[in-house]
Each structure stands twice: as structure tokens, then as C-alpha cells.
Structure 1
Amino acid sequence: MRALPRLALAVLTAAATVAVVSATADAAAEPTPITVLTSDFEDGTTQGWSGRSAETIAHSTAVAHGGTGSLLTSGRTATWQGPSLDVLGTFEKGTAYTVSAWVRMSSGSDNARLSVERRTGGVASYDQVVGNTAVTSGSWVNLTGRYTVATDVEFLRVYVETASTTGDLYIDDVTASYVPALPIQTDIPAVKDVITEFPVGAAITGAETVTQHGQLLTRHFDSVTPGNALKWDATEPTENTFTYAQADPLMAFAKTNGLAVRGHTLVWHNQTPSWVFLGADGQAMTATADDKALLLARLENHIRNVAAHYGTDIGVWDVVNEVIDESQSDGLRRSNWYNVAGLDYIRTAFRVAREVAPHAKLYINDYNTNVPAKRDFLFGLVQQLKAEGVPIDGVGHQVHININWPTVAETKAMIDKFVPLGIDQQVTEMDVSIYTSSSESFPTPPADRLLKQAYVYRDMFALFRQYPGEITSVTLWGLADDNTWLDTYPVARKDAPLLFDTTLQAKSAYWGVADPSKIGASASASVSPSVSVSPSSSTNPGTGSCAVTYRVTGSWPGGFQGDVKVANTGTTALTSWKLAWQFTGGQQITQLWGGTHTQSGAAVTVGNASWNASIAAGGSTSFGFLGSWTGTNPVPAAFTLNGTACSVL
């Protein structure tokens, strides 16, 4: 999966939920949200808010988002200290709450987070509702996310914290609300009953196992994939200290309800704690014999513990994830794993997984495997490793696609490529975005996009069903549109990529899988997912004023995700662009989408992609990236576009 960490016991989204209207019938309007919490600090009190330690919490009239009052937190000595409110008697288990808070620094800048602390049996756990978001002293910033309590708790507090500094901060106009749940539809066919050629699964968090979500999951799907709960940062956050607090409840739910489980993932370059790549001297590992031996020993220890913990309860493992980078001459991703251990980390991972879980099918998993260059590099790697005796049983195709890309023919070529290897193939993380570029954003999914999406699902599932002996499972990356990683990736906006909408009702996409004849009587057969858009490009430079919005949309140990919006505030259209800035905290971009980039030391330059080269006067475009960081992650202070200094929003 190519996403930010999404904790298994909470629903995390970066935008407010919106209703998706089915194209097959007139859908009722989404119920009016019910507000259960309001803190506006207009009465001169702290309204029940307190600190998490010895910091000072006080009413303030120095600044306010609305009215004249706000809440000031001062005297902070740690980044996790901040304003906190008890919501144990407010939030109910199984209900998805939209939590919103306006935040502002007293001076300087930082990244702020909206989080929840919960305790069960005296054991504390921490969930991010909204990840790192740039906040300054110059303006108020809204943190809005969704949160579901998925387990019984005896302690539950929502709080605001920062990532790097301990400066004073303000909050104001905090609210929490929920939309009354609708019953799931029981008069429509179950997906698992219609698709009989292979099991159909869904990626889940704890929120998908309770109330109506749990009912929808067990009614329609054969299997589940814990989206984040089995990754390294969740299972071994510190060396040789293993915890399964996130995954065990999901596994128990699966076992109780007869759902098969895909294990995801034992090795990935993301969501791996930074300590894994530190040598015995505490310094970053390099390609020395000692560092390689230590890294492979840690890898073996991790797999032996995690895979053994679940034994035969997990029948399929994504052993290694996203190891191909088609931009490299040899096609291999230059991850920390590869830079220190070469291909031996892949060989070791499969060997140890086979020893610990001899019953399980072992997969190598990757995205964009429909792209010929990536597909061919992956084929060559699997062919080589199998010839060496590495126990690879199958290839996982993530299939994160959109309504215009790829074509059915390109996807068919992807499947056909691996048939001669005699291995299984699975679709492991499928979703179909309604967006075709990072610059698009809709407050409500347009009906024509949902209709095209339905035809994509129709045609893709029809293709998969032609390979019952080759495609042995299809998993959707989520249950319903209320909880999808695409709400924050590649940019923050509400997406609608799954079969069921935000109220858990069947969409046209569902009918594309269950019964394409019911997609919609008024639907035009001319709408085809196989139509590709060929964007134009231009190399002529433009001039004009500019404004840049830089946001850190998520952060985890050693890594972060950024989103950058470039606005042309001048009167002349740009027909190509280059944005430049300096990182002052040693950050390094590891992957970028929506453009091309180079980095030399602290200096970063991002140029346009072919499809977003033109920015009209008054228009804007966006790109996103993944990066590494250690210690601090300060926001760049200045940007230039085509050599012209930009204002920073």
C-alpha cells in the first residue's frame, strides 16, 4: 500500500465526509450531522479542557478564530503536551465522529496534530485523527478528521500536540459531530455470492469490524487485509519489543466470522521504524558487511516473531512490498533495505517466511504493475529469484487506478506477462479514484465520474473472472468511501473509490461488480473506462506572480508526506514551471508524484509533469511527495517559481 500510516483502531480522513449519490436511483440526502461537542471558549472558562502534564491551560482574548475567546496552552516542555478534553462519556463505540479544531501558534511555526489517547486494561494507545499539518502564528489552521472508537475503553481524551517545538499554542471552535448510521442493504446480492471464481476481500481497520461496518463486511466479503496493523511500525516499534494490540482484534473478528486473512506486509521501505536502519554504533547503516549482517538479523527476527504469532491463521503473506523502481536502470528500488543488503533482504525475507509459515502462500507485492517497464522489471526479478530457489508463490498487483487509467488491454497484458512463471496472481489493493489528476477536487463526486467508475469496475472484474486459475483473490483497499487512504493521497480531498458510499449504501460501482445490467437505465454505453486522456504539454516558460501552500499531511518515524499547491497569481498563463526551495532540516525527497524533481543537498527543484505544465492566470496545480526526516521537519521558508519569489500561504 502506498499510503500514510492509518492506525488500525481509528478511522482517519483529512476531509469532511460527503454523501455519494448513486447513479442508479435517486438517493435520499445524507442525514443531518448531530453535534456532540462544541468548545468556543466564549464564556471566559477553559470549558473542561486541561493539560496532559504540567503545562498551563488558560482562557485567552489575545486572538480568537470566532468571537473574542480562545484557549491558550503555555509552559509546554514536550511536544506531546497540549490541550486535552475527556470524551469518554461523549464518544460511543462504533460511531464515526468528525472532529474539527482551529489551531494557531503563539509565535513561530510547527506541525500540529489532532490525536486521541485511549486506555484499555490500563494500557495506553495513541491514535492520530489528523496528521502533521503546518501551523504558524500568522493565521488559524483547521484540523479536521474522522475517528471511530472500535474497542471498549476506560479512558478517552482528544488532544492537540506538535511535532517539533514546545511553543505556546491556541485552539478555538472545537467541534465533534456524527451522521446517524443507515442500515445496510440486505435486499441486494452479496458480492461474495456473485463472484465465485475467486474470493473477494477488503482492507480494514478496527472501525470496519463494529456496528453497520462489520455487518457490511461480513455480508459481502470472503477475506480481509489488516491495512496497517501488521506493518513493522505497528508490530515492532522498538527493537525486539513486539506488540499486536492493533492486529489481534482484527484477527479475532476474522476468525469469529470465518474470514480468511491476507497478511500485509513483512518488509516495506515505508512505515519501518528508524532504529531498524541504525548500525551498532547508532549511526545510519551503510553497505558494510557488519551493517548488512545486523540488518538481515533484525529482519529474520521480525519475521520469525510476527509470522509465528499468527501461525496458520494467516494463509497469505505479502512478504515484500514495492521493491521495483522502473526509473532505475536495473529496476530495483534504492530503499534502505537494498542500499545496505542488496537483493539478500528479499531472499532472506522469503526464506524465513517459508520456514516460519510453511502453510502460507508468499507474495511479492507492487503497484503500477500494468506499466510495461515496471511490469517487466518485476517479471525479471521474480524469474531470477525463483531460478535461485527463493520460495515466491505469487505476485500481488495493487491496482490503484482511476476512471481513465489504465485500459483493460493494459491490465490484461499485466496478467498475461506472469502466466508463464507458473505462479499465483492476486489483486491486492484495488480502488478506482474518481480523479484523473492531483489538481482536481470535487465537494461531491460528480454523477458522470461515478458512472465511469462503475464501468471500470465492471470491465476489470470481467477481466479478472477470465483468469480463475491465475487470479486467486481480489481485495479492495477499503470497505466504503467513508474510510479511504485516497482522501489524503496524493493530495487532501474527498475521493470515492470503493463499492459503497459514505453511508455504506451500494453505489453504481457495486452494481458494476454485482450486476452490470443495473448500473443505470439512463447510462450511456458510450461512457468507457478504456478512454485515455492524453494531456498536452508545453515547454514555453511563463512569467507572473505566484503563491505556494506547503503542507505536511502525515508523519511517521523517519518519514513524512508533503503536499504542495502552486498558484499563478499573475495575469499571464504559465506554460511550464519549476518550483525551487531549500530544506533546512536535512529532509530528503524519496518519491514524488505530479511532477519531476531533483535534489542536491538542501536544494530541491520540482518541474511540471506533462499533464500539468500549464497553469492559467488565477489557476493552480498541486504535487505531492514522500520524504525522510530526522530530528525536526521544518517547513521551507521561501519558494521561487521560474526564478520569481512566491508568497507563502
Structure 2
Amino acid sequence: MRASPAPASRERSLPLAACVLVVTLLLGVFAPVAGSAAEAAEPDLALPVTVLASDFEDGTPQGWTARGGETLAVDGDAARTGAYGLAVTDRSAGWEGPALRVDHILERGVAYTVSLWVRLADGAATDTARLSLERRVDGTTSYHTLGSVTVGPDAWVELTGTHTPTVATEYSALYIETAAGTPSFRIDDVLVTRIPVPPIQRDIPALRDALPEFPIGAAVSPADIHGERAELLARHHSSLTPGNALKWDATQPAEGVFRFTDADPILDFAAERGMAVRGHTLVWHEQTPPWVFTDADGEPMTPTPENKTLLLERLETHIREVVGRYGDRIGTWDVVNEVIDENRPDGMRRSPWYEITGLDYIRTAFRVAHEVAPDARLVINDYNTNVPAKREALYELVALLLEEGVPVHGVGHQTHINIEWPSVAEARAMLERFIPLGVDQEITELDVSVYTAADQVFPVVPAERLEAQARQYRRMFDLFRSYSEHIASVTVWGLADDDTWLDGGPLDRKDAPLLFDERLRAKAAYWAIVDPGWEGGIGPSGGCLVDHLVTDRWPGGFRAEITVLNTGSRTIDGWALGWTMGRGERVDHLWNGTLAHRGPRVTVGDASWNAVIPPRASVSLGYLGSRSGASGNGGPAEPTFFTLDDRACLLLAPEA
């Protein structure tokens, strides 16, 4: 948000020369691209920085220490380059290896790459070397594998990994271990590199303002609430879903041991930014620790009355602890997740939950969640609900639960789709089917893969795939808007293409399923959603640049000036400028225009004498606004979405 100008400069308006200079630069940024790699041609806004290097050339271990009883020695025979490397011998366990404490050099919310070279001692059998991180938070130690590689005695192999610290730690250390045996090995040329995130685009419309029909959310990881990623998240979204931080393995890894190390900061961030939270998920057949399905003797559960009672007791304890911790801070919960298997005669997935308790685990989960959070919306969530057989199985289950009085308030459609599937008709049928039940519907995990077959791999995603992706997003959001009275929210399953669950797999392929690319830049898919006039390409279609500046404020009111620059090649003859006011705000008096509509969505038409705007020319208008319930001189909300003749405009970037 732009800082308020000092009284002496509050009459400042945007000079035409400055507008032309700004738009000249912007036109270069949003020029049509020939391929998906075109954006890479933009100059890097930040360069990687090496924060630690260990080459052992001073003849010392340079801070590396043994984790157990192994021996570390700086040795000329262990060198890959230069005169020295680090030899690791006398190992008696796979976890033994060199460790280096790094909590003093790593910053939260910053991504780091770690690179080192490893080679086994002569005569050793091939093994897997792992780069790992030991972390201690609030007295609890955890271990995380950052990368692994197959290594032998005949050649040096590079071992790499990435890490983004997200919480304050009492102790963090990198270490190298082996997966199978205890061979001696050598390491050399260790680099820890900081990867700065370039500034986000602050001159583009906000998703949350361009989509007023429903809250727009994103699934997040702990890294997304720091730095530029946090700004992207808060600027564009009105809600968030912790992707993994509230699942069972994260919140109760051992019986009776609850941890909220990752979840609490995300909830605090949402509260600070005024964002709603969707809780995901209380019951799922995956990411549930094995102990949950062990009997009183520690053996795997079988379907007995005793085990059913024990499992339901564990479920109730878990829900009361997790849901109770956050109370009304979480307004919606995915209570049960992926319980349908349309290939079964009864349509139910044969998970341990179902095998041991039947439908009672679903009934119990909704009942207990409702008791603990009576005002929360409780959702049953599943994927492929556009497939008729799955849709029908889910419909029958929800209808049964409602008939029994189970408090199911909503159906969640995950909507993991691709550029060709499903069709609009299939997606419409998905929404139509559940309307008779009277429950809310939510799009909970939306992403659009660029792949249409399991054997496809693109080293660089072709431009035509990204264009097709944008058109699929456009079709889906047009549909969602038309059903907005039935859709309570839409959540995209991730913030940007650099962090998506669709990466990897058997072919280790890179997908690009989201609205922002790996550099947090808006993609064609983004413009297809926010710009009513979008017809293709990366960038707005409107040919306009808008500066909105609050020039004065007083208790309950403010004055604002708007400058609109025609950045297109055609003369505009007659115009209508639209934007959304902040909550409780309204336009009371307008000059240099005609107020065509009052309320949160404001439309201003030309004043006849300023109807014509030639290319590279601008018009200025202004208004007096008021804010209901305002008691001080706090500033009004800065609009982040303007349209000119129903086409999206760029915004003059806020001052730093």
C-alpha cells in the first residue's frame, strides 16, 4: 500500500511524461512471448549469494564435527580439488557422518541450496549418500532428508539439496549419512547458497478484488508466510489452507504428543493479514502415522469391536485437541478426505478407517468437530467428483449422512484437472448434482496440469500448453462465477509453480499448474482469470495504466485522485472506469466524471468533454469518499483492481 503523502505534496498527480515513461517500460515487460522460456529473458532481479563454503584448504575441518564415534580427518587423499578434503572413517552406523551447524547463517523464509561432492573409500560397495538436516524446535528434534545420490568408490558425485527454514530453531545442522552400509567416505567443496526471491509484481490487479463472487484462497507451506512469497499470498488471496501443517502426521506424530510448530505461525499470519483459514484435514487414509492403526498390544489392527472402540477414541481425542486449539480462528474444516472409491459396489474406499469402523469414523469425525467448533463449516472433500460414478457415490453418502442428522455442511471438489479435462459440461454436472442437497460447495484444491498423458515430459513447457492452460482456467472460473450462489470459496492448490505437488513422480517431470510461475510472476492463466477482456497472451488487454492516490484524510473520510493513461494504440472515445471500494467505503462526491453506480463496485463514466483519450494521453478525476465506522485518521483501502471498459488495467506500482 502506498504511503500517504505529506500535506505539502498531497496535491501531487501523475505527470503525463512519467506515465509515458512507465508505460514504455511496462509494454516491454508484457510484450507477447513466443515460448514459455521468454520470461527468462527478463534481467534477473536478484542473484544467488554464497553464504558458506567449506573447501578444507586451510587444513582444518572448518566447523564440521562427528555425529557419533566416527573419525573425521582433513587429508590430502580426500581432496577433489585443491590440496585437502575431509575423510570420514571408523563408522559403525549409517547415521554417523560429518555435521555442520548452520542455524547461525540461515534466515527464515529464505531458500537455500546445498551442494557438496562425495566419494566412497577405495573398495567400498555402492551406497546411497544422503544430505540431511537435524533440527531442534522447542526441545523436539526432527530429521529431514534434503537430497540423496548413488555413490561409489570410483568417482566423485555431486550431492545437492534445498532447504527453506520456516521456524526459529534452537539447533540446526547439515549432515551426511548413508542409507545401507557404513562405508568410509570423503567430502569436498561444500557450498551453501542463498537464493533471493525477486520482488513480486505490485502493479497488477489483486485476484481477491478481481473475483468478488467468492473468497479466493491458496494452499500454503510454512515458507509461504515469509518475504516476497508472503506479500504475494496476502495481496492476492482472502483465505489460505495449510497444505500439510494440520494433517495428522504433522500435529500428532506419536500418540498423545501434539505439535503445532508449523501450523501456529500460519494461523498467526492469517490473523495478522485478515485472511480466512480452511483447515485441512482431520481424517485421511494417507499421512496418518502407523501408530493410529495399532491395537492395545502394538500390533496392526484387525476389524474387532475392541479395535473399533480404540480407533474411534483416538479419532475423537485427535479432533478435540486440534480443532479445539484454534476454535473460531478456522472457519472451515475438511473433516474427512478422499473416502470414496467408485470401483467398489458400495462406493467406499477400503482404508483402515473403513475396514475397522465402517461409516462410523465419518459420523464420529463430523459429530466431534461440530461439538468443538459449532460455528465452523464442515466439509467432506474428494477428487474427480466430475466423474459420474464418483459423483454419484459421494452424493449417496452425503445424502445418507444428512438424513441421519450428521452435520455435513459442504462438499469439497478438489478439482485437480488438466488443460483438456474436464469439459465445462462435466464440471457443471458436478456442481448441479449437489444443489438439491442444500449444502455449500467449495473448490478446494484447484490446479491445471499442462500434461494430458502419464508418459509426457517437457524439459520446457511449450507456449501452446500454457495458452491452453489459461483457457481452461478461464472456462472453469467463468463456470464458478455463474454458480457463485452455491460456491462458498475457491482455493488454488499452491502459490506458484516453484512449489507444487505435481512435480516429480516416476518420470521426475516438472509441471506448471498454477497462476504464478517459478519467479512468482503472473502467467497467462492469471490474466485469463482477472481480465474480462483477455483473449490470449501474458498481460492485460485493457491498454490502460491507473494511478490512485489518497491525497487527504480525516476522521470518517478521505480525498482521492485518479489518473488514467491510455497505453493502447487506438483512441478511446467514451469510457467507463470501474473499481471496488474497501469495506464500508463509498463515493460521496465525484469530479471530472459521471458516477454510474454506487456501492462497493464503483463505475465512473466520462464527463463528455473528456470522453476522448488519444494514445499515450491521460485523463484525471477525483472523489471524496467516506468510511462507515471510521473513528480515526487511518487510511482507506487502496484499490487493487481497475477496469477500463471492462478490461483490466495495470496499476502504477506503489512507492517503496
TM-score normalised to structure 1 length: 0.71
Q: 1:349 to 1:120 in 2, by over 3 A?
A: closer
Which letter maps to 1:85?
Answer: L
Q: 2:48 aligns with which of 26, 29, 33?
A: 33
Q: Which moved more, 1:170-179 or 1:425-434?
A: 170-179
Which letter maps to 2:452?
Answer: T
Which structure would you say has the larger Rg? Answer: 2
Unmatched runs of 5 consecutive residues or more in structure 2: 1-28, 540-656
Unmatched runs of 5 consecutive residues or more in structure 1: 1-20, 524-649
Q: 2:219 aligns with which of 181, 203, 225?
A: 203
Aligned positions of 1:297-308 closer than 5 A: 297-308=313-324
Q: Is the 8 A contact 1:316 1:363 kept in 2?
A: yes
Q: Which moved more, 1:167-176 or 1:346-355?
A: 167-176
Please give the alpha-carbon distance, in whole angstroms, between the structure 1 residues aligned to 2:228 and 2:405.
46
Pairing 1:472–2:488 present:
yes
* Matched position secondary structure for 2:270: helix
Q: 1:522 to 1:334 in 2, by over 3 A?
A: closer
Pairing 1:51–2:73 present:
no
Pairing 1:420–2:420 present:
no
Q: 1:349 to 1:476 in 2, by over 3 A?
A: same
Q: CA deviation at 1:75?
A: 4.0
1:313 equivalent in structure 2: 329
Q: 1:350 to 1:522 in 2, by over 3 A?
A: closer
Please give the alpha-carbon distance, in whole angstroms, between the structure 2 residues aligned to 1:23 and 1:95.
31
Q: Percent identity?
A: 56
Which letter maps to 2:115?
Answer: S
Please give the alpha-carbon distance, in whole angstroms, between the structure 2 residues aligned to 1:22 and 1:439.
33
1:82 equivalent in structure 2: 97
Q: CA deviation at 1:463?
A: 1.0
Q: Is the 8 A contact 1:261 1:315 kept in 2?
A: yes
Q: CA deviation at 1:110?
A: 5.8
* Matched position secondary structure for 2:65: coil
Please give the alpha-carbon distance, in whole angstroms, between the structure 2 residues aligned to 1:65 and 1:516.
58
Please give the alpha-carbon distance, in whole angstroms, between the structure 1 residues aligned to 2:114 and 2:247.
27
Pairing 1:116–2:133 present:
yes
Q: CA deviation at 1:56?
A: 2.6
- How many residues of Structure 1 are paired with residues of Structure 2 in the alignment? 503
Q: Is the 8 A contact 1:24 1:519 kept in 2?
A: no
* Matched position secondary structure for 2:339: coil
Q: CA deviation at 1:134?
A: 6.2
* Matched position secondary structure for 2:245: coil
Q: 2:512 aligns with which of 496, 504, 525?
A: 496
Q: Is the 8 A contact 2:477 2:529 kept in 1?
A: yes
Q: CA deviation at 1:321?
A: 1.0
Instruction: Encode CA deviations 1:237-291: one digit per residue, 9 max, x unaligned.
Output: 1111111111111111111111111001111111111111111111110111111
Q: Is the 8 A contact 1:24 1:518 kept in 2?
A: no
Q: Greater RCO between the two (CA within 8 Å, min separation 6)?
A: 1
Q: 1:437 to 1:169 in 2, by over 3 A?
A: farther
Q: 1:449 to 1:236 in 2, by over 3 A?
A: same
Q: Is the 8 A contact 1:511 1:519 kept in 2?
A: no
Q: CA deviation at 1:157?
A: 1.8
Instruction: Encode CA deviations 1:25-55: one digit per residue, 9 max, x unaligned.
Output: 5631445433334445677654432222333
Pairing 1:350–2:366 present:
yes
Which letter maps to 1:129?
Answer: L
Q: CA deviation at 1:76?
A: 4.1
Q: 1:287 aligns with which of 283, 303, 310?
A: 303
Which letter maps to 1:426?
Answer: E
Q: CA deviation at 1:87?
A: 2.4
Q: Is the 8 A contact 2:30 2:538 kept in 1?
A: no
Q: 1:263 aligns with which of 244, 264, 279?
A: 279
TM-score normalised to structure 2 length: 0.70
Aligned positions of 1:401-412 closer than 5 A: 401-412=417-428
* Matched position secondary structure for 1:312: helix
* Matched position secondary structure for 2:217: strand
Aligned positions of 1:139-150 closer than 5 A: 143-150=159-166
Aligned positions of 1:428-443 closer than 5 A: 428-443=444-459
Please give the alpha-carbon distance, in whole angstroms, between the structure 2 residues aligned to 1:407 and 1:69.
62
Q: Is the 8 A contact 2:99 2:176 kept in 1?
A: yes
Measured on the aligned residues, the alpha-carbon RMSD in Å equals 3.0
Which letter maps to 1:152?
Answer: A
Please give the alpha-carbon distance, in whole angstroms, between the structure 1 residues aligned to 2:150 and 2:348.
33
Q: Is the 8 A contact 2:78 2:86 kept in 1?
A: no
Q: Is the 8 A contact 1:401 1:433 kept in 2?
A: yes
Please give the alpha-carbon distance, in whole angstroms, between the structure 1 residues aligned to 2:79 and 2:483.
60
* Matched position secondary structure for 1:486: coil
Q: 1:159 to 1:368 in 2, by over 3 A?
A: farther
Pairing 1:186–2:202 present:
yes
Instruction: Encode CA deviations 1:6-32: one digit per residue, 9 max, x unaligned.
Output: xxxxxxxxxxxxxxx988556314454
Q: CA deviation at 1:190?
A: 0.3
Q: 1:100 aligns with which of 115, 124, 133?
A: 115
Which letter maps to 1:151?
Answer: V
* Matched position secondary structure for 1:429: strand
Instruction: Encode CA deviations 1:438-464: one digit per residue, 9 max, x unaligned.
Output: 433333332222211111111111111
2:594 equivalent in structure 1: none
Please give the alpha-carbon distance, in whole angstroms, between the structure 2 residues aligned to 1:325 and 1:64.
56
Pairing 1:484–2:500 present:
yes
Instruction: Encode CA deviations 1:448-495: one digit per residue, 9 max, x unaligned.
Output: 222111111111111111111211111111111222222234642332
Q: 1:493 to 1:168 in 2, by over 3 A?
A: farther
Q: Which moved more, 1:278-287 or 1:481-490?
A: 481-490
Q: Is the 8 A contact 1:23 1:507 kept in 2?
A: no
Q: Which moved more, 1:472-481 or 1:435-444?
A: 435-444
* Matched position secondary structure for 1:261: strand
Q: 1:500 to 1:522 in 2, by over 3 A?
A: closer
Please give the alpha-carbon distance, in whole angstroms, between the structure 1 residues aligned to 2:243 and 2:537.
36
Please give the alpha-carbon distance, in whole angstroms, between the structure 1 residues aligned to 2:214 and 2:425.
21
Please give the alpha-carbon distance, in whole angstroms, between the structure 1 residues aligned to 2:65 and 2:530.
51
* Matched position secondary structure for 2:325: helix
Q: Is the 8 A contact 1:315 1:361 kept in 2?
A: yes
